[in-house]
Amino acid sequence: MPIPNQIRKFFFPSFTPKFLIRIFLVALLAYLFFGYICIPFTIRGTSMEPTYHNGGFNFCWRLGTLFSEPKRFDVVMVRFAGSRVMLLKRVVAQESERVEFRDGKLFVNEREIEEPYVHYPCDWNLPPRQVEKGFVYVVGDNRSMPIENHHFGQTSKSRIMGVPLW
Amino acid sequence: MVKIKYLSIGVLIIIIGIVITVVLLPSEEKKVKKQFNLLSGYATKSPEESGFTLLQKMKNIGSLFDEQCELKAPSQSLSGNYKREEISSYAGSARSYFSQLDLRFYDFNIVFSEKGVARVTLTSRLTGKSVAGEQVDETRELECVLKKIEGKWLFSQIEVVEVLKK
């Protein structure tokens, strides 16, 4: 059975200058979009369990924090030297606030904070400390490990790259 | 018309020539990156590594460092000036903690602040398995200073940047 001309043209287009320009523009836009605006990433580690699972796939939406400050309970991506490796953490306190853990419970400015996203038992104790100006305090949702083995703390707002898309 | 055609081909050949030259010629930046690649290769350890390879790699790690190198890693209890031999033996003892080790570097930002001095900010990721069978996955931002001595870029300062401060 002969393939209809339109289908053949769609799958096997002739390499006209117009077609090459179109291909170039699509590739350029995809590079800019997925390289700088909506960066794909794979989750490695269990620090955000059960909200985000080890091996999960997501996108870092950079416009999520470009025009607005990260708020408490926002999940954010924290960069190191660049965007190849980032940390996925939750903001629990903002600048000038005092953070503390008492028997696994989070206290901000001496007030206990309800954290419905924390599902595993936690026995952390951390003396109170003030978040510096221009910084936010981030912690993972999985606090079942000893406090020394969990990467958390205050980080500069300039290090926040964006938010996960879902 | 024919002239324009030959002119276009000529311009295209010149552009391709420039691109090939830029890609293939070893720039100072590439030489600096090569030192990190060598460090990565020497630090990497497979479970079936022989004693001879271990000694060779320890010696090779030392050869990438200046006679005196300043290490600033308070979280790893490493701060101060270390001799090349001390770094070799420290690397050896650190490697012996692992049965399997992989060290990779990402997001290079290289600045030649003055002649013969390269300041490099990058992300390092160390993954592996300890001899006790524990999985290890550590990511750090590093600020390194490399000096060009006798034509070779050697590490003269390595500082671990605190991204999250508890």
Q: Does A138 touch chain B (CB under 8 A)?
A: yes
Contact assignment for A44 to B137 by CB distance below 8 Å: yes
Residue A25 lies in a domain: no
Residue B109 lies in a domain: yes
- Residues across chain A: 166
Specify the amino acid at residue A61.
W
Signed CA dihedral, A103, A78, B136, B166: sign only: negative
Nearest-Cα residue of chain A relative to residue B75: A148
pLDDT tens, residue by residue, B90-144: 888 888 889 999 999 999 999 998 899 999 999 999 999 998 888 888 999 999 9
- Residues facing residue A156 across a β-bridge: A135
Write out the two tokens for A37. Answer: 């605006």
Question: Is residue A145 classed as helix, strand or coil in its secondary structure?
Answer: coil
What is the residue range of B116's domain? 26-161
Write out the two tokens for A102. Answer: 């008492």
Region B136-162 average pLDDT:
94
Residue A76 lies in a domain: yes
A-B contacts at Cβ under 8 angstroms: 52
Torsion angle of C-alpha atoms B63, B66, B70, B75, degrees rounded to 10: -20
Residue B107 lies in a domain: yes
Report ipTM (2 d.p.). Answer: 0.84
Question: Along the 166 residues of chain A, how does pLDDT read in single tens digits?
Answer: 677 888 888 888 888 888 889 999 999 999 999 999 999 999 998 999 999 999 999 999 999 998 889 999 999 999 999 999 999 999 999 999 999 999 999 999 999 999 999 999 999 999 999 999 999 999 999 999 999 889 999 999 999 999 999 9
Distance CA A77, CA A58 (A): 11
B1 pLDDT above the threshold of 70: no
Residue A143 lies in a domain: yes
Nearest-Cα residue of chain B relative to residue A45: B137
Are β-strands B117-130 and B98-114 bridged in parallel, bridged antiparallel, or unpaired? antiparallel
We report the CATH number of the domain holding residue B39 as 3.10.450.50
CA distance A46 to chain B (A): 11
Q: Does B102 touch chain A (CB under 8 A)?
A: no
Nearest-Cα residue of chain B relative to residue A47: B137
Neighboring chain B residues of A152 at a CB cutoff of 8 Å: 164, 166
What is the residue range of A155's domain? 37-164
Q: What is the pLDDT of residue B2?
A: 65
**Considering its fold, how many domains does chain B have in total?**
1
